[in-house]
Amino acid sequence: MSYKRIQMYFFLGLLLGAALLTAFLFYPYLGSLVLGVTFAIVFRPIHRKIFRVFGGRAVLSALLSTVLLTIIVLVPLIFFGAELFNEASGLLSLVANGGNGFSHSFAEALHNRLGGIADLSTSDLTSYINQYVGELLRWMVGHLGAVFSGVANIFFSLFLALFSFYYFLKDGHKLREVLIAVSPLADEYDKEVFGKLSSVVNSVIKGSLIVAILQGILTGIGFLIFGVPNPVLWGAVGALAALIPIIGTAIVTLPGVLYLVFVGNLVPALGLLIWSVLLVGTVDNFIRPKLIERGSDIHPFLILLSVLGGVNMFGPMGLVIGPLILSLLFALLHIYQVEFKEYSEGA
């Protein structure tokens, strides 16, 4: 073996070792970094407008974009999370105490309406409601409790995400050029990977997650207006349900309508039904197509699995990391398809 080859292997070993050590160093902050990158990709069109307005001042534009992101996204998210935790905890406490109030009155109304169709007493119905609602709430409170139990860590993670967001806006193009320069792929493929990844991230975040959040917000507002208890909690459930293909928010809004019917509030029940069909449905049928970029659509069921798997593996940050990993896979599959065709044609 030549001395030159020994030098090359030695250098590659050092490079691999340094890369692995760096990955271990960055791993605890992976969620914040990914969140910062994702926000930078999605927020880039707004940042470009700010950049032009302020005459190409990179530092000032990135700083203003960071302040704007904090005001319109992170501050409301903190207040919403706190209210969601309070509602879920309160309802879980109610269910744990036998469901006095909500579940008992709902079960009694359900029993009176169904009459002899189902051979179940009010106490049986109350027990079933407490069981299934309790399981859902225990899952939610357990995950939310894990989030709010480490408030200091949450604020540090958000600060780091904002910090990375600022630098990715300010210096992201430089990092992109470095990665293209060191990549063994041809530059045109590197640029296609970045372009496809950016396109798919925008599609997933805007076309699925943002639409789901909008539908969840509208569901919660509808529940609040028409008198369904715990609107923030069920709005959050509605946002998750919006990711389920075909069924969507109907899995939350229809039980809400039935609840109002069974307790005798027929006019509010009709109002909630109309609200759900017109407003919540409008978001899915008209706003979603405008947000999704052509050629980058991913099946909603895969997005749902990526969200659930991401949360299971990475905690709350997995809400973004999961779809981002899925986006990367689809981007690489697209490049592989192009490369495979070229090799097949050349063979």
* Confidence grade of residue 18 (pLDDT, cut at 50, 70, 90): very high
pTM score? 0.64
Can you read off the two tokens belonging to residue 191?
């640029």
Can you read off the two tokens belonging to residue 143?
């995950």
Rounded distance between C-alpha atoms, residue 155 and residue 265, angstroms: 43
Of 37-51, 112-126, 192-206, which one has max mean pLDDT? 37-51
Which residue has better confidence, 315 or 231? 231
The average confidence (pLDDT) of the chain is 76
Residue 168 confidence (pLDDT) above 80: yes
Residue 148 confidence (pLDDT) above 60: no
In the block, tokens 């296609």 appear at 192
Handedness of CA 194, 198, 203, 209 (dihedral sign): positive
How confident is the model over 161-169, as a mean pLDDT? 90
* Position 308 in a domain: no
What is the number of residues in the chain? 347
Host domain of residue 161: 30-166
* Position 90 in a domain: yes
* Confidence grade of residue 93 (pLDDT, cut at 50, 70, 90): low
Question: In the chain, how many domains are there?
Answer: 1
* Position 82 in a domain: yes
- Spatial neighbors of 17 by CB under 8 A, at least 6 apart, are none
Q: Summarize pLDDT for 280-305 with one digit per residue, the tens.
A: 777 777 777 666 655 455 776 787 78
CB 273 within 8 A of CB 256: no
- Spatial neighbors of 239 by CB under 8 A, at least 6 apart, are 212, 213, 215, 216, 217, 219
* Position 280 in a domain: no
Q: 169, exposed or middle or buried, with CB in 10 Å at 0-12, 13-18, 19+?
A: buried
Residue 116 confidence (pLDDT) above 50: no
* Position 306 in a domain: no
In the block, tokens 């293209």 appear at 180
* Position 2 in a domain: no
Can you read off the two tokens belonging to residue 310?
């991401």
CB 320 within 8 A of CB 292: no
Please measure the distance between the N-terminal and C-terminal CA atoms of the chain and give it in whole angstroms. Answer: 33
Q: Which of 255, 244, 243 is nearest to 214 (CA)?
A: 243
Rounded distance between C-alpha atoms, residue 137 and residue 129, angstroms: 12
C-alpha dist (Å) from residue 26 to 16, 74, 160: 15, 23, 12
* Position 104 in a domain: yes
Can you read off the two tokens belonging to residue 306?
């990526």
DSSP state of 265: -
- Spatial neighbors of 311 by CB under 8 A, at least 6 apart, are 143, 318, 319, 322
Phi, psi of 184 (to 5 degrees): -75, -15
* Confidence grade of residue 271 (pLDDT, cut at 50, 70, 90): very high
Which residue has better confidence, 311 or 138? 311
Q: 27, exposed or middle or buried, with CB in 10 Å at 0-12, 13-18, 19+?
A: exposed
* Position 171 in a domain: no
* Confidence grade of residue 213 (pLDDT, cut at 50, 70, 90): confident
